[in-house]
Amino acid sequence: MYKISDTIKNNKFAVILLRAVFSYCAAAGVSYYYFYGKNLVLQSAFNFSFFILIYILLQKASSFKKRTKRIAFSAGAVYSVVICVGKALYDTNGFITLYGSYKRVLITLVMLFGIFIITGLTLSLILNFLETHDITDNNNSNNLKGTSKLNLKTPVKFLILWGVNFIAYIPCLLAYWPGIYAYDMKMQSAQAIGAAPFDKFHPPLHTFLWKVCIKIGSIIPLQAITVYALLQMALLSCFFASVLIYLRNKNKKLFIIGFVWFALNPIFALFSINPTKDVCFSVFFGWTILLIYDALKNTKAFFKKPIKISALLICILLSCLFRNNAVYVFIVCVPLFAVFFKGVRIKAAAVLVCALALFMVINGPLLQALGVKKGNNREKLSVPMQQIALTVVRNESKLTQEEKSTIDKFLDYKIIKQKFNYRFADPIKSSFKTDYYDCNKKEFLRLWVDLGLKYPKEYIIAFMDLNLPYWFIDADSVDTYSQRRYIETSAVSNNYYTINRNSKLPWIYNCYEKAADYSIFRKIPIVSNIFSIATPIWAILFTGLCLIFKRKYKQLLVLLPPALLWATYLLGPVSNFRYVLPFTMLYPLFLLLIFNKENTENN
């Protein structure tokens, strides 16, 4: 085998021929993926252009180190499988286009090969660049060792950055004056004014914050929704200022990138005034990740400072209070903190344990004493309900009468086929009979398992299809099935709160609306992918790949909470951009992890 390989390497003609064959097959595969059956002329031009590009890249990559190519092409293999499976599921809500005929099998193999080659080559170039280049500031090298030192000018700079970011979002508030009344606020208003009891379906802390804003709005000449917007603008811009100060102490080039990303991004402007719990959660979750990164870089110094330990504990606690699924993220992190934080393992784990214990006390006895009701159990069962519903939709004739009767005990069987939506669980979830489920949980579990064993294909498709926009990067962020707006910006009044929009800057309002409905991004190929719902998870994975390549294994702990949080979203009812907001806010930190040559403290 090695003799054959050496013979090919020593024969220039054989190398050129093999490279040409690889280039042709790879170009054909990528072309099939994007243009098959759409435009023959465009496909032919694309094939030729890609053939030349891939041939040049193969030639260049031949000189790269084996480890670089091994890591890059391993990642390329994973990506090619995910992207091809995602395309089949996105186009047909199934996998039949991958293997339906011999021709389809051949096309699938060609697509896999093409995406594998081009992704592997692209990653090889990036990793090779990272190995030989970095963007560390030479004139800032003093700050790259040990704890970032703060001088007397730092608070002033922080306040300036805070103010600049805050001011950058004022035009958006004026455009949507007096504010946005969207997402869950319409339901939370009933609780805030006392028309309905508080419950845990919406974070009680966020509902209480809205109640305070309503109270303030009754005292000062500003509507409650405007008060909320100003408070949230202050909170979000404060977070961005703290990240920018941290970046400035580490890397001035990344500071500039971060400033542009935070201050000029229309997404952050829209969310700064959007009354959803996800913004508050994103801020405290973001601070948690930043503190974890700082703790990994300067472990001994970090855990000697009570103020930093307290800050980490409070941010973890508030993250959990603004979004319950964060609890599961940090529970998983406890043993990992004990492993990675050598020398301070007990302290590191204790911070998490204390934060989680405080959350349990607040979320349990304290809220119960305050009369806060539990949330509906159906909210935890979006995926099982979708799996059962798809089984009915595709196999109704095969189901026994007993199975149909059992399903009807939990779901309104008559409306399943009518209401089922591949990427939105709420239509099915709305018919769930929670009272019966609460008394017969074992029966539901038995039904779910039995149907899953009989119809595993439907279960796999239902699960993957429901959260497809979270991982298939070519999915439209305004999904064809779920029809959820990219960012909701409505101002619809209801019985509990009245709002009349009176835009002070109508022309800016129209510009922001194009960002809110994704139309401004959809028209630009690369930009549309940057703002895709799936991009944040691929950003996390790419950052992890770079850390593995650089052998910075300890810093993978920084990426673990975001990755675990994303995993909890896979069990939710719909894919929505607001859920991945915390990841987009961490992009500058991901760049710092990728480019900075600074190593973690050696304890």
Say how far apart CA 512 and CA 507 lie, in whole Å: 9
Residue 144 has pLDDT above 60, yes or no: no
Say how far apart CA 521 and CA 266 lie, in whole Å: 11
Say how far apart CA 46 and CA 34 lie, in whole Å: 10
Confidence class for position 528, pLDDT limits 50, 70, 90 = confident
Say how far apart CA 312 and CA 296 lie, in whole Å: 13
Residue 437's CB is within 10 A of a number of other CB atoms, namely 18
- The pLDDT value recorded for residue 494 is 83
Last residue of a domain, one of 93, 109, 132: 132
For the chain, count helices (H), then strands (E): 32, 0
Confidence class for position 24, pLDDT limits 50, 70, 90 = confident
Answer whether 270's CB lies under 8 Å from 315's CB: no
Residue (of 179, 181, 182, 185) closest to 233 by Cα position: 179
Percent of the chain with pLDDT strictly greater than 70: 92
Say how far apart CA 189 and CA 196 lie, in whole Å: 9
Confirm whether 57 is domain-assigned: yes
Output the six-digit token pair for 266.
Answer: 């229309």
- The pLDDT value recorded for residue 491 is 85
Q: Assign 218 to helix, strand or coil.
A: coil
Place of tokens 């043993």: 335
Claim to verify: residue 414 and residue 348 sit in the same structural domain: no
Percent of the chain with pLDDT strictly greater than 90: 68
Answer yes or no: pTM beyond 0.95. Answer: no
Output the six-digit token pair for 28.
Answer: 């054909």
User: What amino acid is encoded at 86 in this protein?
Assistant: G
Say how far apart CA 22 and CA 182 lie, in whole Å: 52
Confidence class for position 145, pLDDT limits 50, 70, 90 = very low
The residue with greater pLDDT, 282 or 531, is 282
Residue 28 has pLDDT above 90, yes or no: no
- The pLDDT value recorded for residue 148 is 45
Q: Lowest mean pLDDT: which of 89-103, 322-336, 521-535, 543-557?
A: 521-535
Residue 1 has pLDDT above 60, yes or no: no
Claim to verify: residue 422 and residue 512 sit in the same structural domain: no
Claim to verify: residue 148 and residue 191 sit in the same structural domain: yes
Confidence class for position 134, pLDDT limits 50, 70, 90 = low
Residue 513 has pLDDT above 50, yes or no: yes
Residue (of 296, 292, 239) closest to 262 by Cα position: 239
Residue (of 388, 515, 510) closest to 449 by Cα position: 388
Confidence class for position 143, pLDDT limits 50, 70, 90 = very low
Say if residue 411 is exposed, middle or buried (CB neighbours under 10 Å; 0-12, 13-18, 19+). Answer: buried
Q: What is the mean pLDDT of residues 9-27?
A: 76
Backbone angles phi, psi at 128, to 5 degrees: -65, -40
Residues 298-342: pLDDT tens digits?
888 999 999 999 999 999 999 999 999 999 999 999 999 888 888
Claim to verify: residue 407 and residue 370 sit in the same structural domain: no
- The pLDDT value recorded for residue 133 is 67
Say if residue 155 is exposed, middle or buried (CB neighbours under 10 Å; 0-12, 13-18, 19+). Answer: exposed
Residues 345-374: pLDDT tens digits?
899 999 999 999 999 999 999 999 998 988
Confirm whether 116 is domain-assigned: yes
DSSP string of 452-485, one letter each residue: HHH-HHHHHHHHHHHTGGGT-TTS-SS-TTT---
- The mean pLDDT of the chain is 89
Last residue of a domain, one of 83, 113, 132: 132
Residues 166-215: pLDDT tens digits?
999 999 999 999 999 988 888 899 999 999 999 998 999 999 999 999 99
Confirm whether 83 is domain-assigned: yes
Residue (of 1, 600, 592) closest to 301 by Cα position: 600
45-63 in b/e form (b: 16+ CB < 10 A) is ebbeebbebbbebbeebee
Confirm whether 227 is domain-assigned: yes
Confirm whether 480 is domain-assigned: no
Residue 159 has pLDDT above 70, yes or no: yes
Residue 578 has pLDDT above 60, yes or no: yes
Confirm whether 296 is domain-assigned: yes
Residue (of 602, 506, 526) closest to 176 by Cα position: 506
Q: Assign 262 to helix, strand or coil.
A: helix
Residue 489 has pLDDT above 80, yes or no: yes
Claim to verify: residue 312 and residue 328 sit in the same structural domain: yes
- The pLDDT value recorded for residue 136 is 52
Claim to verify: residue 68 and residue 212 sit in the same structural domain: no
Domain extent for 444: 377-454
Confirm whether 48 is domain-assigned: yes
Residue 505's CB is within 10 A of a number of other CB atoms, namely 17
36, 382, 481, 573 from 425: Cα distances, Å: 32, 6, 11, 5
Cross-strand partners of 491: 181
The residue with greater pLDDT, 331 or 22, is 331
The residue with greater pLDDT, 555 or 62, is 555
**Cβ neighbours of residue 459 closer than 8 Å, sequence gap 6 or more:** 387, 390, 391, 451, 452
Claim to verify: residue 54 and residue 109 sit in the same structural domain: yes
Q: Assign 373 to helix, strand or coil.
A: strand
Confirm whether 307 is domain-assigned: yes
Claim to verify: residue 336 and residue 416 sit in the same structural domain: no
Output the six-digit token pair for 511.
Answer: 């510009």
Output the six-digit token pair for 365.
Answer: 């006895």
Claim to verify: residue 213 and residue 302 sit in the same structural domain: yes
Cis preceding-peptide flag for 536 (omega within 30 of 0)? no
Residues 261-272: pLDDT tens digits?
999 999 999 999
Say how far apart CA 366 and CA 87 lie, in whole Å: 48
Claim to verify: residue 436 and residue 531 sit in the same structural domain: no
Claim to verify: residue 194 and residue 237 sit in the same structural domain: yes
Output the six-digit token pair for 484.
Answer: 């959820």
Claim to verify: residue 285 and residue 352 sit in the same structural domain: yes
The residue with greater pLDDT, 521 or 235, is 235
Residue (of 140, 285, 229, 361) closest to 580 by Cα position: 285
Confidence class for position 95, pLDDT limits 50, 70, 90 = very high
134, 178, 330 from 128: Cα distances, Å: 11, 51, 35
The tally of domains found in the chain comes to 3
Residues 383-394: pLDDT tens digits?
999 999 999 999
Last residue of a domain, one of 113, 132, 151: 132
Backbone angles phi, psi at 181, to 5 degrees: -125, 85
- The pLDDT value recorded for residue 4 is 44
